[in-house]
Structure 1
Amino acid sequence: MKRYPLSFEETFIRPMLENGVSKVVKFSFPKGKRLQKHKTSSDILLFVLQGTIRFTAHEEVELAAASMISLEKQVEHAIEALEDSVVVLVLTPSPEAHSMFSP
């Protein structure tokens, strides 16, 4: 068993776990931080643990703490932090190369 800290920190992107089946990444979004439109080769589950974000894909929605959203692979999406926020992203299946981590 391993514990993973999910609190806000200075590091924006922190990979937490990759087990071959899925990849878990924590984002610490300072207010105003954006992830521009991008796609991933995996289905995603996005959990907002703290704060509020604007998630844009097929439509634009605001998600507050204790919210979750799912999105199919290859769908363009963007995120903007409306306040300091902690978001956990689960990618399934685990991608071999994900656009956010490529140089």
Structure 2
Amino acid sequence: MGPLVHEPLPVVVKAAETAEGRARLYQDSRSVERAADNLRAGTLSRLARHFNLGVGSTADDVMDAAARKLGRPHPELRHTLLDFRPQSEQQLVQWAQEIERIEQEAMTG
């Protein structure tokens, strides 16, 4: 076996297909924690970008901006977006729906 060789292939994979494939892997492995971490990171990243917080922003910066925009207490948002850890697939789905509602409300409200 020789060294690895990079070979460009004429294939483009859509982001949605990649995300769906990862989701299936997490589901098959029952990796609720890993899936939650990815959902959390994506939500925080999109909110930070929406609020123009910059690359050096922290999760608390995002919470502050979202709390101001939504008129909700910072601790409440922090619990939902950062501190809550789903323990089952059912909790993961319910939590994912809640963080999606928060994100949509923050971006449209």
**TM-score, L = length of structure 1:** 0.27
Q: Which has the higher contact order (CA 8 A, sep 6+)?
A: 1
The structure that is strand-richer by fraction is: 1
Larger Rg computed on CA atoms:
2
The structure that is helix-richer by fraction is: 2
